[in-house]
């Protein structure tokens, strides 16, 4: 009977030992599987980002093909530093043609670069005219590819003759 009892204790001991080893193995395997799942999820995110990037590149290539023919036209529309006086003349001429008095003044000869990498020269232009003519002037300036209006400030309301005066600050974009 003692022998039978020892055998049962041995079997129970071996069973407990095997179950402990299996439980330990399961814990480590589960931890390893969780790590591998996290790695797979991270790689899936990278693959999705790469697919989106590839998709965007295809769109950019298609858009570039559409605008490629117009790049030289846009570059030719911009003045260079040598003919900046011609650009100033255009700005002033539009002012006169719309019934305003405009005198463009360049703020130094220094060129600047905007946040998109485009070169420009800053200018100030005192302006005087009535409401309609100033509005017409601003609309006409908007058609010039190389001019960007930064601000428009009026000194006072219109005078008794309906003429307002103020100043216009802007940028004249240049060829690279």
Residues 91 and 147 in one domain: yes
Per-residue pLDDT of 97-121, as tens digits, reads: 999 999 999 977 788 899 988 889 9
Q: Which two tokens stand for residue 20?
A: 């402990």
Contact by Cβ (8 Å): 112, 121: yes
* Domain end (from 42, 77, 112): 77
Overall number of domains in the chain: 2
Work out the burial of residue 88: count CB atoms within 10 Å of its CB; fewer than 13 is exposed, 13-18 middle, 19 or more buried.
buried
Residues 64 and 13 in one domain: yes
Residues 100 and 138 in one domain: yes
> Strands 164-173 and 101-102: what pairing?
unpaired
pLDDT score at 168: 92
Spatial distance between the Cα atoms of 121 and 87, rounded to a whole number of angstroms: 11
Residue 36 belongs to domain spanning: 1-77
Length of the chain, in residues: 176
* Domain end (from 77, 93, 113): 77
pLDDT score at 158: 64
Residues 11 and 30 in one domain: yes
pLDDT in tens, the chain (176 residues): 668 888 888 899 999 999 999 999 999 999 999 999 999 999 999 988 888 888 788 888 888 888 888 777 777 777 888 888 888 999 999 999 999 999 999 977 788 899 988 889 999 999 998 888 989 999 999 888 889 999 999 876 666 677 888 899 999 988 87
- The position carrying tokens 């100043």 is 167
Residues 72 and 129 in one domain: no
109: DSSP letter:
S
Spatial distance between the Cα atoms of 3 and 61, rounded to a whole number of angstroms: 85
Residues 120 and 48 in one domain: no
Spatial distance between the Cα atoms of 97 and 136, rounded to a whole number of angstroms: 10
Residues 147 and 115 in one domain: yes
Residues 92 and 138 in one domain: yes
* Domain end (from 52, 77, 102): 77
Spatial distance between the Cα atoms of 155 and 136, rounded to a whole number of angstroms: 19
175: DSSP letter:
-
Spatial distance between the Cα atoms of 127 and 133, rounded to a whole number of angstroms: 11
């Amino acid at each position: 009977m003692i022998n039978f009892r020892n055998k049962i204790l041995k079997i129970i001991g071996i069973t407990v030992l095997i179950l402990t080893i299996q439980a330990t193995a399961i814990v480590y395997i589960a931890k390893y599987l969780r790590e591998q799942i996290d790695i797979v999820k991270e790689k899936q995110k990278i693959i999705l980002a790469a697919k989106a990037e590839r998709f965007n590149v295809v769109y950019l290539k298609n858009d570039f093909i559409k605008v490629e023919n117009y790049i030289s036209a846009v570059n030719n529309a911009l003045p260079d530093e040598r003919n900046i006086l011609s650009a100033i003349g255009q700005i002033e001429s539009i002012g006169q043609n719309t019934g305003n008095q405009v005198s463009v003044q360049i703020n130094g000869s220094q060129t600047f670069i905007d946040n998109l990498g485009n070169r420009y020269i800053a200018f100030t232009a005192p302006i005087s005219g009535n409401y309609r003519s100033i509005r017409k002037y601003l609309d006409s300036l908007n058609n010039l590819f190389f001019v960007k209006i930064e601000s428009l400030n009026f000194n006072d309301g219109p005078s008794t003759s309906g003429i307002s005066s103020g100043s216009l600050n802007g940028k004249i974009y240049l060829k690279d």
